[in-house]
Amino acid sequence: MTAFCVRAFAALRPLSWFMASVLLICFAARTLAEEPISVIIDQARILNLPERAATVVIGDPLIADISIQPGGLAVVTGKSYGATNVIVLDKTGAVLMESILEVKEPADPTVVVYRGVVRNTYSCTPICSPRITLGDDPDYFTKILNDSKTRNNEAMAAGAGGSR
């Protein structure tokens, strides 16, 4: 009886290798087909939408925002670090596209200064200046954000005053 079981198992071995190969190829093909869409935080990326696209859904609008443009284009803007999904539907509700959307850190040269647990980030392109970065010390972040708002408001006021 034992010899029979061993022979039967040996006969199934090539079949099991074949099935394992087929499963591996299927999973690999699916992984390659679903490459995520990457966007840098605080930057925009243009996507070509599938034909007949009527509705675009972003899973988490705190991570990314999408703006539909004429001609089947969409502008995706990274708002926070992380991953979410984007789904494109036609008028009947059929899914035309579904993909993962990753928001990553910028590739520009930065310097991160740690003072204990307090973190400050500087953008060094080419001179180091304070940068508004998620995860920085709240006081530093608020100060740099307020400085940027003040600068923008002053520039808008100067532009409005100069056009008279």
pLDDT digits (tens, 9 = 90+) for 104-156: 988 889 999 999 999 999 999 889 999 989 899 999 999 999 999 999 999 99
Confidence of residue 47 (pLDDT cuts 50, 70, 90): very high
Domain 37-104 has CATH 2.60.40.1080: yes
Q: Is the pLDDT of residue 6 over 80?
A: no
**pTM for the whole thing?**
0.65
pLDDT for 24 equals 54
> Can you count the helices (H) and strands (E) in the chain?
2, 10
Q: How far apart are CA 46 and CA 9, in angstroms?
A: 55
